[in-house]
Amino acid sequence: MIMETIDKIKEQISENPILLYMKGSPKLPSCGFSSQASQALMSCGEQFAYVDILQNPDIRAELPKYADWPTFPQLWVKGELVGGCDIILEMFQQGELQPLIKEAVGESE
């Protein structure tokens, strides 16, 4: 059961160049941190995938162990964990997130 969840996580991460694990959805976030993180991503102007961990309790349980990152949201770009809300916002404010996102989208087209 746990391996299935890990496989599902790996598949999601490999299939989506930009993936946000969050509570709720970008349009209806269920927590402030998820809201801020998805806003910053949306401001980059590219499409991104998301997984609502409230709808996926198995992923919510296993992803922190797999990622070695205890909290949500989690942003993954090109298979690498970028980080959580603080890191996302800091990168956005410093202008580092936008090129990272654009590059990830460009490479997958």
The answer to whether the annotation marks 72 as part of a ligand binding site is yes
Alpha helices in the chain (DSSP H): 2-15, 32-43, 57-67, 85-93, 97-108
| Per-residue buried b or exposed e for 25-40, using 16+ beta carbons within 10 Å of the residue's own CB | bbeebeeebbbbbbeb
The answer to whether the annotation marks 33 as part of a ligand binding site is no
The answer to whether the annotation marks 68 as part of a ligand binding site is no
The answer to whether the annotation marks 60 as part of a ligand binding site is yes
The answer to whether the annotation marks 102 as part of a ligand binding site is no
The answer to whether the annotation marks 86 as part of a ligand binding site is yes
User: What residue numbers does the annotated binding site for glutathione cover?
Assistant: 23, 60, 72, 85-86
User: What residue numbers does the annotated binding site for [2Fe-2S] cluster cover?
Assistant: 31
User: What residue numbers does the annotated binding site cover?
Assistant: 23, 31, 60, 72, 85-86
